Amino acid sequence: MGELKIISSAFPSDGSIPAKYTCDGADLSPPLEIGDVPAPAKSLALIVDDPDAPVGNWVHWVVWNIDPGIREVGEGKVPARGIEGKNDWGRNSYGGPCPPSGTHRYFFKLFALDTTLNLGHATTKKDLERAMEGHILARGQLIGLYKRR
């Protein structure tokens, strides 16, 4: 399986996410740069989650059918052609880091798929993961850290 590049100009991998991209700031999605997408990819999918949440893995953003030709996602923007599903706040949007205590890790997981997905707006992370099974050509991830002051 191939490896996708996903980085952000806002923070380094395993570095601190600036407050601007969290519930303590403007709660905008950070800018992302994408690369090394395999030629046969028909779409990309993005899942942002926090495995350190007290209730278990907390989902911050779910997006699929992203244009595989995309190279960057602007700050506060939905990726080109992307469809947003439900996060764990029950919203179809990005919800930034907002840990109740301690430092949490936020995984920005990107997937290149050999298909587009016919999913509705009520789609959750689990629904998306089920739909992606057998269709993943490559994956990549960016990890950011955040601790509320």
Q: CA 123, CA 127: separation in Å to the nearest integer?
A: 6
- How many structural domains compose the chain? 1
Q: CA 53, CA 141: separation in Å to the nearest integer?
A: 19
- In the predicted structure, residue 37 carries a pLDDT above the cut 80: yes
pLDDT digits (tens, 9 = 90+) for 63-113: 999 999 999 999 999 999 999 999 999 999 999 999 999 999 999 999 999
**φ/ψ of residue 131, rounded to 5:** -65, -30
Give the domain extent around 129.
Answer: 2-147
Question: Pairing state of beta strands 2-3 and 15-16?
Answer: unpaired
What CATH number corresponds to the domain at position 141? 3.90.280.10
pLDDT digits (tens, 9 = 90+) for 123-144: 999 999 999 999 999 999 999 9
Average pLDDT over residues 32-53: 97
pLDDT of residue 5: 97
Average pLDDT over residues 1-7: 92
Displacement of CA 143 from its chain's centroid (Å) = 10
Contact in structure between 98 and 140 (CB atoms under 8 Å): no
Contact in structure between 11 and 18 (CB atoms under 8 Å): yes
